[in-house]
Amino acid sequence: MYAPFGLEDVVAMHMCPHRVIAPAQIYEDKVRSYRERWPSLTAERW
């Protein structure tokens, strides 16, 4: 596993947007999809 910024967010089930490589709509779609599988997932707003 490659985690240059650590695993804290993964372990905490927290998503942060990567504004350079993913447009807002893609990020929001992923958050919605992932929350269907993992309801306890938290995510920062775009």
| 23 within some domain | yes
| 2 within some domain | no
3-state secondary structure of 14: strand
Per-residue pLDDT of the chain (46 residues; tens, 9 = 90+): 777 779 999 999 999 998 898 899 999 999 999 999 999 999 999 9
Residue that the structure tokens 């504004």 belong to: 19
Residue numbers of the domain that contains 15:
8-43
pTM, entire model: 0.80
Helix (H) / strand (E) containing 24: helix 24-37
Beta bridge partners of 43: 15
| 13 within some domain | yes
| 3 within some domain | no
Q: How far is the C-alpha of 24 from the C-alpha of 43, rounded, in Å?
A: 13
Residue that the structure tokens 């967010």 belong to: 9
Q: How far is the C-alpha of 1 from the C-alpha of 46, rounded, in Å?
A: 26
| 37 within some domain | yes
| 15 within some domain | yes
